[in-house]
Amino acid sequence: MNLPHALGFFVLGLAMIVLPELAPALSTPNAVFGSVAAIWLQFMGMVIFLIGSGCTATCLAAAWPKPAPRQKTSVAIPAHARAEADSTLASTGNRAAI
């Protein structure tokens, strides 16, 4: 689902939730069950609202810029530096023997 469709679900669900309060004549109470139409509108509006808000959050999170990947810093000594260190140790060892 793309962002415009998710926002459409969000707005439709919100309208269905608010409709029984704004137009109570559309959901007249029944003598036995009360206002079943208003309860149905609010319940289904909540379901559609939650679907729309979840998909909207998912679409916005997918469009959010990702942080740059962290570069790994190596703590190992490079091979050429290791060779130079070995030659330095060998030369200092020779001086101590002299």
- 25 falls within a domain: yes
pLDDT at 93: 54
Q: Is the pTM of this model over 0.75?
A: no
- 10 falls within a domain: yes
* Residues of the chain falling short of pLDDT 70: 31-34, 74-98
Domain count across the chain: 1
Long-range contacts formed by 73-77: CB under 8 A, 24+ apart:
none
- 71 falls within a domain: no
In the three-class reduction of DSSP (H, G, I as helix; E, B as strand; rest coil), residue 59 is classed as helix
Q: Structural domain of residue 41, as residue ranges? A: 3-63
- 68 falls within a domain: no
